Structure 1
Amino acid sequence: MKAVDVKALQPGNQLAKPIIDSYGRVLLQKDVIFTERLIRRLKEFDFKYVFIEDAYSENIEPQSIIDEELRIETISKIRKTFKTFDQFDATSQNQYVLERSIDDIKDTVHEIANTINHHDEILSIMSDIFMFDDYLYNHSINVTVYTLVLAKELQFSDKEIEEIGIGAMLHDIGKIKVPKSIINKPDQLSDIEFDVVKEHTTYGYEMLKKFSNIPSIVAFCAYQHHERLDGSGYPLGLKEANIHEYAKIMAVSDVFDAVTSNRVYRNAFLPHEGLEILYSGSDSLFSKKYIELFRKHVSIYPNGSYVELNDGRRGIIAKQSKIPDRPIIRILEEEKLRLTLSELYEVDLSEHSTIMITKCNTTPF
């Protein structure tokens, strides 16, 4: 299967992976044949990508570190927690309900951390961006997964894993206090609106610091994840020495997922482009140490992406090697001629140091 921009869909294309919403409801079943009307409806509802089947991408599977069931279950817990915090405060008679929600988040963090501990492949959650709706909850999960992968490689203790995992899961909880008209605005925010959005870090800190069953550092994760090493971040403009290590790690995860996710006002950047954005701020905005670690464990060119090589050949990412930026390519075209199905072959870039990827896209060139 391969990922295809909805704009490039053609009548007759076959859906390879169900489209579901964050409640686990199937919006389109696997094997549906696209018609002009169905493609038009996907565009109207602002879908960006779908997976389709074709003979040239046969047996190519999208990667995902957490399965669909765990993702839907986690979204349900995050949604419940955010809504509970929105309805009640720490001084109310419903504090027990709030604390139970936090316990659910802790359990989920442990489950994701356990999944990561038993996952030795290069990390990619590219396939999960096709789940429709609820950006905030999906973003919270993705940031948690990325953050826990880095924490594992940094050999954090179990206590630290729990702290930074809860912090990542709840880092954006303050956004429930930001007007939805601003959060969901389809255009660029005004300076005044952006100032309102910035307040989510303070809102989150104020909400989380009141609970005895939340480690105090979790509140600081919400407070500091937009601080930057050179002091250009918010809300306090802290510089490197005054920013907690957890917040430095989460900043890398947060920005990468934000720029590689579809938003109402722009399309997603591809993972290799997201990494370039991080590197452009290396040691000025973000810690180079954590960017380098991130690069070693995250798939830059996800399965099903189209690529062009420096020798002119074109193909599709078939699978990952042990080196994130040196995947295995199924060659579809050489010398500007399309290969037949019987002529297809694969090249492992980890074994060919002189072959480089020069272009990458989610649709054929």
Structure 2
Amino acid sequence: MKTAKIQDLNEGDILARPITDSYGRVLLQKGVKFTNRIIQRLADFQFKYVYVQDELTEDIYPQDLLDDQIRFETIHYIRESFRAFNEQPTNLKRNQYILEKSLKEVQKKVGEINEIIQDNEEILSIMSDLFLYDDYVYMHSLNVTVYSLALANELNYPKHKIEQIGIGALLHDLGKTQVPKSILNKPGKLTDLEFSIIKEHTIYGYDLLKHANLPNEVKYCVVQHHERLNGSGYPYGLVGPNIHPYAQILAVTDVFDAVTTNRVYRPGLLPHEGLEILYSGSGELFLPEYVDLFRRNISIYPNGAEVELSNGAKGIICEQNKHLPDRPKVRILENEEGKLHKSQVYEINLATTLDVMITQCNVSSFNG
């Protein structure tokens, strides 16, 4: 299978992977033939791409670290934790009871996800665009959790600390329950006043968790994940060593997922573009060690993505190279002379063919 931009779909193309909502309900079943009406609906819901069946790439499968069951179960408990404060923000005792109940399940899910990451020998890849989410913040919280757990494992933290980081990541945006949705989802540029309200979510989140039965390290993740090395962050403008190491992990993973995800006010960047943002702030905003480790362990060009190479060839990403995310294996379908016949198709391993590089990637599984 291969990826196809929504605007490049044709009537009669066949869906290779189902599309679901955040409750696990199937919206489009695998095998559905696209019509103009379906294509338009996908565009209306701001999907960037889908996987379609293709004879020359039928043996290529996208990587996805999490299966649907653990994804939807985790999102459910994130939603429950957040809604405790969305629905009755003034009933603190009731909210605290609901939160404590949800937190027990959240902690279990963090442990399960961490085991999956530790058992995973492939490069980290998260599928987002094939799911329709009713609220960006839930999926963002899950993605940041996966990225943060992976980075914490690379830093060789002990298990209990890794899981603290994971819980902090799941809850890092809890304070956004206290920010008006009209501001959170505003399609245009925020006013100075609106941005100042948004920035308060770190304090709100800390206050909501202040009395929760959680390690202080988790609460530091919530209140400090927008702090930056040079003191330009918020809410306190902390500098370098005054920022908790866990929060510095979240600073990297939160920014990456935020900029590579589609929002109502702007399209998401491709993964390599998101990494460029991290590198532009490396040393000033983010710890260089964390940025480097993160880059080496995530899928920049996911399986099934269409790419162009520096030698003029075009093809599909068919396999990843561990710790070399920018140099995967590519199945070449077209060269400078035109499209290749099925018998002429070949593969190139960019990890060993060092004089060739990817110059363009048309779509990406990281844009949610």
TM-score tier, shorter chain, comes to over 0.9
Contact 1:206/1:219 (8 A) holds in 2: no
Moved more, 343-352 or 44-53: 44-53
Offset at residue 129 of structure 1 (A)? 3.0
Contact 2:3/2:306 (8 A) holds in 1: no
Question: C-alpha root-mean-square deviation of aligned residues, in Å?
Answer: 1.5
2:176 is aligned to 175
| TM-aligned CA distance change 1:286 to 1:94, over 3 Å | closer
Contact 1:60/1:303 (8 A) holds in 2: yes
1:105-116 alignment runs, 5 A limit: 105-116=106-117
Contact 1:328/1:346 (8 A) holds in 2: yes
Residue type matched to 2:140 in 1? H
Contact 2:304/2:317 (8 A) holds in 1: yes
CA distance in 1, matches of 2:156, 2:42: 43
Whether 1:272 aligns to 2:295 is no
Q: Give aligned pairs, total.
A: 361
Residue type matched to 1:110 in 2? G
2:335 is aligned to 334
CA distance in 2, matches of 1:160, 1:81: 21
Contact 1:310/1:358 (8 A) holds in 2: yes
Residue type matched to 1:182 in 2? I
Whether 1:355 aligns to 2:356 is yes
1:202 is aligned to 203
Contact 1:259/1:269 (8 A) holds in 2: yes
CA distance in 2, matches of 1:89, 1:160: 32
Contact 1:4/1:51 (8 A) holds in 2: yes
1:94-243 alignment runs, 5 A limit: 95-125=96-126, 127-133=127-133, 134-211=135-212, 213-243=213-243
1:292 is aligned to 292
The percent of aligned pairs where both chains have the same amino acid is 55
2:46 is aligned to 46
Contact 1:313/1:336 (8 A) holds in 2: no
CA distance in 2, matches of 1:159, 1:66: 21
SS at match of 1:3: strand
Whether 1:249 aligns to 2:249 is yes
CA distance in 1, matches of 2:355, 2:136: 39
TM-score, normalization by structure 1? 0.95
TM-score, normalization by structure 2? 0.94
Offset at residue 190 of structure 1 (A)? 2.0
CA distance in 2, matches of 1:360, 1:328: 14
Residue type matched to 1:151 in 2? A
CA distance in 2, matches of 1:26, 1:255: 30
| TM-aligned CA distance change 1:326 to 1:141, over 3 Å | same
2:77 is aligned to 77
1:15-54 alignment runs, 5 A limit: 15-54=15-54
Gaps of 5+ in 1: none
SS at match of 1:92: helix
| TM-aligned CA distance change 1:94 to 1:305, over 3 Å | closer
Contact 2:85/2:95 (8 A) holds in 1: no
Contact 1:89/1:95 (8 A) holds in 2: no
Offset at residue 282 of structure 1 (A)? 0.7
Q: CA deviation digits over 1:122-179, x for unaligned, max 9?
A: 1011x23321123111111110001001111111112211211110000001011110
CA distance in 1, matches of 2:265, 2:89: 31
